[in-house]
Amino acid sequence: MQHPPLTIPPLEEVQRHFQLFDYIAGERIRPSVEMGGWVRNPNTGEAIAPQLATSPEQVERALATAQRLHEAGDWARLPANERANRLDVAADALMPLTPLIAAVESYHTGTVISLTNFVNAIVWLAFKGAAGVLRSGRTRLTAPGPLGEVEILRKPLGPAVAIVPWNSPAALAAHKVANALAAGAPVILKPSEWAPYACLFLADGLEQAGLPAGLFQIVNGGAAVGQQLVSDRRVRAVSFTGGLQGGRAVAAACAHDFKAMQLELGGNNAMIVLEDADIEKTAEGIAAGLTTLNGQWCRALGRLLVHESIADDLLAAARDRLGRVRLGDSLSPASEMGPLANEEHKRRIETAVAHLAAHGGQKHATTPLPDLSGNFFPPTLVTGVAPEESLEEIFGPVATLHTFRDEAEAVRLANQTPYGLGGYVFSQDEARAMRVARQMNTGGVKINGVSLLELNVDAPRPAWGLSGFGQEGTVETFDVFCGVSVVGVAGR
């Protein structure tokens, strides 16, 4: 993935895009239910817009529209190449919107513009990727049979629902929506009530592709709207990214009528630092692990596991590196880290740190705070806490530091949490690092790096334990929305 040039649209243009709409049956309508809270600029606390939800009647209209289109089957019957061509048109329409999507996202999530600009290339790339899956022939594979070729068909299961959180909403939404549409399914997107605006651009891109009205729809709101969607028996596949509590509620609703389901939940990701690790490089990795997406990243650093012989040196280097992190306004290209997403979330992080302090934790936070009134919180390491007190995900720029004596203890500590999303190993001996990494029960392990980029963009992104259900990926997400049908001749 190439870094697009950093162009920031004028602020007035960005602010014009804070008009929430539902997108139902091809119409843009203002959601009618006041939720009582506000979406605020996390840099300043300034109110941007009231949080609004779609009424239950309008959610029902969206569900009925999706079901009608699924039954009509026009989109699903289009040849795979034709569907792929339409997705390419959407990708081409979305590509030039990347700087605007990025700026809108930075303005109301607090993620720094240099990162949203980069990550939101995924919005259009997701449609290209899904088109590629269609062109690869996945909708109709064949296998030999005793009486001739057998067809292995992938067809849409039925209306799909995509639910996304607030940390990287547009890219996550695009990945789900593009694959549902590629599979031939009508899809209803529900963005987070804290960060719905960047997702709305998908309506612009997909309108250009000339899809049947209502094939892609957006409804807004929080858990209640999400529950109405996932509990509805017309919905046949759900892709959810969010926290454990929401994931459990979605899984329970899907269990009732065995909907296909993909859950991408949280993590409490370990970084194992062996005694031969390069201290400066590891300190760089710690800073990246704590500050990427302002620490509100499912693969963020949660538990720093350090060989006891280098713990003091590494802590000193990490304190020094964190002291140089540029924490500031999310719309400034100079900022490396921005504010936490909202005040409520900041309070949650403060409570989690207070809990660690009450269990013997000492805080190490050396990053200077900006002179702004928003939800700024410095990346923080906490030492002196028993590993058993740091098992849960914090979902903020906070990690606990624990020491180990040997590899076996390091692996035991890394596998101690109920999660299994990401992991990291730092060592100058790659073969040894690989050996340790192979023992970590987690969806992926990176050695000597903490990049947001995948090791291989086409490799699956699995989740173990409480980190989710199933796996994401180019082909894997497409498959979530498909039923498989094997068709062949049994007698001649």
Cβ proximity to ligand NAD: between 227 and 366 the closer is 227
Enumerate residues 449-488 that contact ligand NAD by CB under 6 A: 468
Sign (positive/negative) of CA torsion 58, 62, 68, 71? negative
265 binds ligand NAD (CB under 6 A): yes
Residue 29, token pair as written in the block: 């309508």
| Non-local CB neighbours of 137 within 8 Å, separated by 6+ positions | 80
163 binds ligand NAD (CB under 6 A): yes
* Dist CA 75 CA 86 (whole Å): 11
Residue 480, token pair as written in the block: 């979530």
Greatest alpha-carbon pair distance for the chain in Å reads 80
Tokens 């569907």 found at: 83
Taking phi over 0 as left and psi of -120 to 50 as alpha, with beta for the rest, 58 belongs to alpha
Cβ proximity to ligand NAD: between 67 and 239 the closer is 239
Helix (H, G, I), strand (E, B) or coil at 133: helix
* Dist CA 60 CA 215 (whole Å): 15
The one among 14, 62, 230, 271 contacting ligand NAD by CB under 6 A = 230
* Dist CA 305 CA 281 (whole Å): 15
Cβ proximity to ligand NAD: between 336 and 393 the closer is 393
* Dist CA 306 CA 268 (whole Å): 16
105 binds ligand NAD (CB under 6 A): no
Enumerate residues 373-402 that contact ligand NAD by CB under 6 A: 393, 395
CB of 247 to ligand NAD, least distance (A): 7
Cβ proximity to ligand NAD: between 69 and 162 the closer is 162
Taking phi over 0 as left and psi of -120 to 50 as alpha, with beta for the rest, 258 belongs to left
Letters for 284-323 (x = contact with ligand NAD by CB under 6 A, - = none) are --------------x-------------------------
Taking phi over 0 as left and psi of -120 to 50 as alpha, with beta for the rest, 54 belongs to beta
Enumerate residues 189-218 that contact ligand NAD by CB under 6 A: 190, 192-193
> Torsions phi, psi of 363, nearest 5?
-90, 140
> Torsions phi, psi of 304, nearest 5?
-95, 115
User: Interacting stretch for ligand NAD, rule CB under 6 A, among 48-56, 61-69, 73-81, 187-195?
Assistant: 187-195
Enumerate residues 407-436 that contact ligand NAD by CB under 6 A: 421
Q: What residues are annotated to the active site?
A: 176, 264, 298, 472
The one among 31, 99, 214, 226 contacting ligand NAD by CB under 6 A = 226
CB of 427 to ligand NAD, least distance (A): 26
The one among 22, 264, 284, 479 contacting ligand NAD by CB under 6 A = 264
Cβ proximity to ligand NAD: between 250 and 304 the closer is 250
Q: Kindly list the residues in this chain that would bind ligand NAD in the complex (CB under 6 A).
A: 163-167, 190, 192-193, 222-223, 226-227, 230, 241-243, 246, 249-250, 264-266, 298, 393, 395, 421, 468
